[in-house]
Amino acid sequence: MDAALLLLADSRLPAGGHAHSGGVEEAVRVGAVTGPDDLARFLRGRLATAGLVAAALAAAACELGSSVIDAAAPARRRPADLASESTGGGPERTGGPPEPIALWRRLDAEADARTSSPAQREAARTQGRLLVRTARRIWPSPVLETLAGAVPEGAHHPIALGAAAAAAGCDPGQAALAATYSSVTGPATAAVRLLGLDPVTVHRLLADLAPSLDETARAAHTAARPERGAADPESRWTPHPDGEGTADPDLADPGFAGDAWWAALPAAAAPALDLLAENHLKAGTRLFVS
């Protein structure tokens, strides 16, 4: 689904991303970014920290979103389940692994825990809420419906991005790449507007970052693979468990409930970005929301 990936990562997607500078506006105001060289260092640092974390969360959300799609497909249901549902019944859930809504909330909480700045958390939720609203119209899917119901206040942007990627038919590696791409292209575009930089020069900076984008996306995808936490079959989320409560390998989703999987998600901190975000709120004149 390469075409879907391009549409998802397109800056013209009407999801409000153009209103956020990714910390560049405040960095310009305090003199930390004054030209292309400063910007290149800023983008590399952002990619290695916030970019890596966002990519892993997006990949994880895409993994979870894909499982929701699989669980909703009638072809994946067992004949006994379909017969039960046709008579008004349904597969019972008496304990066991968590359902998708609980997993969405857990994943969003993991994003919250990795975002120290309240200003950044609010900005991420605003972007996520707008992206889900837009994606629900473009790529209608049970993924986006369950996420919107699980986190009505707005999921963090990387979670929304991963869910939208799953709805669009992208795989988790592509979701991670879209996240790394947006983590640097948004700030780069903002810097052009703020400093009047040559757009060709800035795009050259992005081209130089391309190998690092790929490398970061691969590392994030590896960290976000749920099978890292699936050593214990009881940790597998099974949309339709059988009567004895054991995992059905044809229906079970790999290890979303396993503690090892959650622990493997990157948590690279970026204190400078947190400080920039908090100070940005106090600025008298702001071109960008965040």
198-230 tens-digit pLDDT? 999 999 999 999 999 999 999 999 988 766 444
pLDDT class for 255, splitting at 50, 70, 90?
A: low
More confident residue, 77 or 205: 205
User: 51-65, 82-96, 139-153, 233-247 — which is least confidently predicted?
Assistant: 233-247
pLDDT class for 23, splitting at 50, 70, 90?
A: very high
> Does residue 231 contact residue 220 with C-beta atoms inside 8 Å?
no
280-286 long-range CB contacts below 8 Å, 24 or more apart? 280/23, 280/25, 280/26, 280/29, 280/119, 281/119, 283/25, 283/26, 283/29, 286/25
Q: Which residue has the tokens 């590399």?
A: 44
Look at residue 126 and tell me whether its pLDDT is greater than 60.
yes
Q: Kindly report the average pLDDT of the chain as a whole number.
A: 83
More confident residue, 226 or 189: 189
Look at residue 170 and tell me whether its pLDDT is greater than 90.
yes
Q: What is the mean pLDDT of residues 21-34?
A: 96
Considering only CA atoms, which of 45, 27, 50 is closest in space to residue 283?
Answer: 27
Q: What are the phi and psi torsion angles at 253 (to 5°)? A: -100, 140
For the chain, percent of residues with pLDDT exceeding 70 = 79
Residue 99 confidence (pLDDT) = 79
pLDDT in tens, 92-125: 444 444 578 999 999 999 999 999 999 999 999 9
pLDDT in tens, 279-289: 999 998 899 99
What is the torsional sign of CA 19, 215, 141, 145? negative
Domains of the chain with bracketed CATH: 2-9+22-80+96-280 (1.10.4190)
